[in-house]
Structure 1
Amino acid sequence: MTPYKLLNKYPKTMLNKATGFLADYTHSLNPYTGCSFGCAYCYVRGMPVSTFRGEEWGSWVDIKKEAAGLLEKELVRAKSKGKVTIFMSSSTDPYQPVEVQEKVTRSLLEVMAVNPPDFLLVQTRSPLVQRDLDLFLKLKERVRISMTIETDLDEIRKQFSPSAPPIPARLKALGELAKSGVPVQAAIAPVLPSSDAFPDVLRSVVDRVCLDDYFMGDGSGGRRTRGLGIGSIYEKLGLEDWYGPSAYRIVYERLLGAFDEAQIRISREGFAP
């Protein structure tokens, strides 16, 4: 029995116009609504899709049925009008646990492998992404896998996202994808407290890193995240120095010891096609 509620939904559309932080893309694509990882800092907690639901974020997931057929038609239509770049996903994790059985994400990738967009970014924090290696190889340079690795300290991860996959499993999956020739990056997003060794840990698996925080990346200069009470977690841990608009510089300066400056992208630039 799952610890969260599952509902089947039949959407009218799959491709949504990308705006705001994702304006570098033409479309966003979400295989599910809701996310069982339920990270404490997730900006979607404060958005209408969550607040109007009246249920705790992380306690429910809507499964988008017949999604592949819908995407197939929409993709043909969108490509007839010009370039198509897709961000998957903006408000859910495409590889959360329900994907193991439902395979909605895989069905969407199968459509895109046959009729590829100009570019697809897959944003996840789940090692399950490795399952679809065969489809990523078909997409070649048109895809990039962006794995959220906010810290190298799993005890810190547990304070902010206890239901999300462990950091070592994410690193292993990302390394395997990279070795197989799939374009990848590590997304330190949001920046969480980490050790001095973090850059070397990342450098052993990737050659591209994206750095983002609550203040650059939540779409409201950090106000949306403040409303979630995230500051109290830092206070409880005695790590207030890590919560502020300049905290990302701690990690950035450390990264420069392991990566070339050109390999480190900041905020929106790092997620762009």
Structure 2
Amino acid sequence: MKFGPVYKTPKTLLNKGTGFLSDYSHSLNPYTGCSFGCSYCYVRQMPVSTFRKEEWGTWVDVKKEAAEILRKELHKAKAKGKVTIFMSSSTDPYQPVEYKEKVTRSLLAVMADDPPDFLFVQTRSPLVRRDIDLLLLLKEKVRVSMTVETDLETVRKHFTPKAPPIAARLKTLELLAEAGVPTQATIAPVLPSSEAFPDKLKSLVDRVCVDDYFMGDGSGGKRTRSLGIRSLYEELGMEQWYDPAAYRIVQERLLTVFPGDKVLVSQKGFAP
């Protein structure tokens, strides 16, 4: 069952960067909930999701007056010291509702006027290309990290049927790079991929981050295990990829194509 978005006015937008995001002063989520509903998303196991009756992926809260709230909070935060922002930690800032609502775009406009020291934009959506004009205003103070967990569309459809196609994400990385926006490809979580994957990325980005459930879900893989993700690998006959060492397969393939300092693992790849 599909629900329309709910509109809420938050008291605050900037949250203190903690845990996996402790390299950042703040995290920023334009929405609560995410309609991509990826099977392995660790947010399914977090209070923001478990307190809701609706299934993760079927609901989204749109944050009203977000730009005005951020403008005030950003000004205050900058007066106290360095401000580095991770957008977003528990939603995709460019999920489908953003086409109409433009909350993320309004937040970028605020930050283009009053830039933080650094902004990291994490998405799996080609919609980010719409905002190239604002991203360019942030110059070297921004990096767009595009999730590309695999180069195999059959694998993508199996694990994340509602997420954008891989080809569209790769094309977006190409367009961002051509425009001069700093980017990286983020293989997170590592899904089964082909040996040709690194070559497909080589012409698009000069920096890659690799992460998996065991390092990146904030619980050593426990949150993901409780989602029954292993069965999705078994259905494909690829359970060897559901293993704490599987990321090394991809890492080693990448290192044949990229310099060692441009293949980052887990938290380091997301740091400012």
Which category describes the TM-score, using the shorter chain as reference length? Answer: over 0.9
CA distance in 1, matches of 2:138, 2:251: 31
**In 2: Cα distance, 1:168 partner to 1:135 partner:** 24
What is the root-mean-square deviation in Å for CA atoms of aligned residues? 0.8
CA separation in 1, counterparts of 2:73 and 2:60?
24
**Counterpart secondary structure, 2:60:** strand
| Counterpart position of 2:195 | 196
The residue identity in structure 2 corresponding to 1:177 is: L
Query: For residue 34 of structure 1, what is the aligned residue in structure 2?
Result: 33
* CA-to-aligned-CA distance 1:25-62 (integer Å, 9 cap, x gap): 00000000000000000000000000001210000000
Aligned position for 1:85: 84
CA distance in 2, matches of 1:141, 1:161: 32
Q: Distance in 1 between matches of 2:57 and 2:66?
A: 22
For residue 47 of structure 2, what is the aligned residue in structure 1? 48
> Residue in 2 aligned with 1:57?
56
SS for the counterpart of 2:5 is strand
Give matches, 1:136-147, under 5 Å: 136-147=135-146
Count of residue pairs the alignment pairs up: 272
Aligned-partner residue type, residue 242 of structure 1? W
User: How far apart, in 1, do the equivalents of 2:256 and 2:37 lie?
Assistant: 33
Letter in 1 for 2:212: D
- What is the aligned partner in structure 2 of residue 116 from structure 1? 115
Number of the residue aligned with 1:249: 248
Q: Tell me which stretches of 4 or more aligned residues in structure 1 moved more than 4 Å.
A: none
Paired residues of 1:87 and 1:120 also in contact (CA < 8 A): yes
Partner-residue secondary structure (3-state), 2:158: helix
Distance 1:100 1:126 in 2: 11
- Measured in 2, the distance between the counterparts of 1:4 and 1:140 equals 38
Instruction: Provide structure 1 residue ranges, at least 5 long, that are not aligned to the other structure.
Output: none
Q: 1:2-46 CA distances to partner (integer Å, 9 max, x unpaired)?
A: 944310001000101110000000000000000000000000000
Measured in 2, the distance between the counterparts of 1:27 and 1:55 equals 28
CA displacement, residues 231-258 of structure 1 (integer Å, 9 cap, x when unaligned): 1101111101100100001101111111
Structure 1 residue 96 displacement after superposition: 0.3
> Matches of 2:199 and 2:254 in 1, distance apart?
8
- Residue of structure 1 in register with 2:19 after alignment: 20
SS of residue matched to 1:8: strand
Q: TM-score when scaled to structure 2?
A: 0.99
**Amino acid corresponding to residue 187 of structure 1 in structure 2:** T
Q: Which amino acid aligns with 1:232?
A: S
C-alpha distance in 2 between matches for 1:4 and 1:258:
44
- Answer whether contact 1:4 1:58 (CA < 8 A) is retained: no
Q: 2-side partners of 1:156 and 1:144: how far apart? A: 27
Q: Which runs of 5+ in 2 are unaligned?
A: none
The CA deviation string for residues 143-178 of structure 1, in whole angstroms up to 9 with x for no partner, is 000000000001100011000000000000111101
Residue of structure 2 in register with 1:205 after alignment: 204
Q: Distance in 1 between matches of 2:177 and 2:213?
A: 28
User: Residue 23 of structure 2 aligns to a residue in which SS?
Assistant: coil
Aligned to 1:223: 222
- Describe the SS at the equivalent of 1:195: coil
- Number of the residue aligned with 2:238: 239
Please state whether the residue corresponding to 1:60 is helix, strand or coil: coil
* SS class of match (1:5): coil
Q: Is the 8 A contact 1:211 1:252 kept in 2?
A: yes
Equivalent pairs: percent with the same residue? Answer: 72
Q: Give the Cα separation in 2 of the matches to 1:52 and 1:185.
A: 34
SS in 2 for 1:28: strand
- Determine the C-alpha separation between the residues in 2 that align with 1:255 and 1:101: 37
